[in-house]
């Protein structure tokens, strides 16, 4: 891909010139402004990053590129060049799947200072499998019952809390 449209920032009228006139008239002025401002930020990001993947360990720097939000939009990240970085599709997909981190070089002077020399890893929250916890609780109750232990409802709640605590990785405590 040549990315010619992003090599220079087009004026608003010139940017929308090739669009279908009927479709363009259906879009509100606010939405047109949003579309154009995202285009401008994408231009700034691609130009700043010299149209190459910024992952230090990328082996595919010349394939199709995407603009990645360092702080995800769902977490309050903005569509601003300070929060955007150019990645190749391979690095972007690997990061989003959680299989590989994004590593920015210390000497990447084109990047904002908060990105330089940092590694970003996608942390996927582990889901609790309540079926396993229920089965473990049942096993524990049976073993304690056979040993003569007397259960009350409060005891079961305490055991459930302990099992939930023990099921969490140690580094999250």
- Give 88's contacts (C-beta < 8 A, 6+ positions apart): 53, 55, 58, 60, 61, 62, 63, 64, 65, 66
Per-residue model confidence (pLDDT) at position 169: 63
Assess whether pLDDT exceeds 90 at residue 35.
yes
Share of the chain above pLDDT 70, in %: 88
Q: DSSP letters along 4-46, please?
A: HHHHSPPPHHHHHTTS-HHHHHHS-HHHHHHHHHHHHHHHHHH
**pLDDT one-digit tens code per residue, 100-109:** 999 998 888 8
Per-residue model confidence (pLDDT) at position 91: 93
| Owner of token pair 């929250």 | 125
Q: 103, 67 in Cβ contact below 8 A? A: no
**pLDDT one-digit tens code per residue, 48-96:** 999 999 999 998 766 799 999 999 888 888 999 999 999 999 999 999 8
CB atoms within 10 A of CB 62: 11
């Amino acid at each position: 891909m040549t990315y010619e449209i992003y090599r220079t920032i087009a004026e608003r009228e010139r940017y929308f010139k090739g669009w279908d006139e009927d479709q363009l008239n259906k879009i509100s002025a606010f939405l047109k402004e949003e579309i154009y401002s995202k285009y401008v930020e994408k231009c700034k990001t691609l130009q700043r990053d010299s149209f190459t993947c910024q992952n230090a360990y990328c082996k595919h720097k010349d394939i199709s590129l995407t603009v990645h939000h360092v702080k995800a939009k769902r977490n309050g990240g903005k569509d601003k060049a300070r929060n955007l970085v150019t990645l190749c599709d391979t690095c972007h997909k690997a990061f989003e799947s959680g299989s590989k981190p994004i590593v920015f070089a210390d000497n990447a002077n084109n990047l904002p200072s908060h990105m330089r020399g940092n590694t970003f890893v996608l942390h996927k929250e582990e889901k609790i499998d309540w079926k396993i916890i229920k089965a473990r609780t049942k096993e524990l109750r049976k073993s304690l019952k056979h040993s003569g232990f007397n259960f009350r409802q409060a005891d079961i709640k305490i055991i459930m809390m302990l099992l939930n605590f023990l099921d969490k990785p140690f580094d999250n405590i």
